[in-house]
Amino acid sequence: MSAIKYPIQGSCQCGGVTYQLLEPPLMVAACHCRECQKLSTSAFSITAIVKASAVEFSGDMSDWSRSSESGSINAAKFCPTCGNRMYHFDPQAPEKLKLKPSNLSDTRVIDPSMHIWVSEKQDWYKIPEGVTVFDKQP
């Protein structure tokens, strides 16, 4: 397999929001909490933690937020036309973004090294060996 070349292009389903990921993610995690199951309409959601300075967005995005179990705010940016979630962020830590990387043109960066909230994992999904696992939020 060839090396991943940056920047990598990304976009929402309709193309109204585009972006470039300029460097590799700091980490990639699979979250199994019920909220992420709702978000992904699947067993878990994939998140790539990136430096905010490592991604450049173009296009209008809408906002949404909710409180997390810890009481912090989990804010999100999404395309107002097609509804694709682009990233989440903590307003208290704006230097990092929780990018939703499935909309990248090269998805080889999606290789979770961590699975979180496995206490809410679907019983039928088997977590691969060799990854770090947390019952809840680390």
pLDDT in tens, 48-102: 999 999 999 999 999 998 877 777 778 899 999 999 999 999 888 889 999 999 9
CB 94 within 8 A of CB 78: no
3-state secondary structure of 134: coil
* Cα-to-chain-centroid distance, residue 70: 19
Domain 8-133 has CATH 2.170.150.70: yes
What pLDDT, on the 0 to 100 scale, is given for residue 37?
84
User: In whole numbers, what is the pLDDT of the chain averaged over residues?
Assistant: 91
What pLDDT, on the 0 to 100 scale, is given for residue 80?
97
What pLDDT, on the 0 to 100 scale, is given for residue 36?
81
Give the helix, strand, coil percentages of the chain, each rounded to 5: 15, 35, 50
3-state secondary structure of 131: coil
Q: Is the backbone of residue 83 left (phi > 0), alpha (psi -120 to 50) or beta?
A: left
Return the structure tokens found at 129: 């060996």
Report, as an integer, the average pLDDT of 41-46: 89
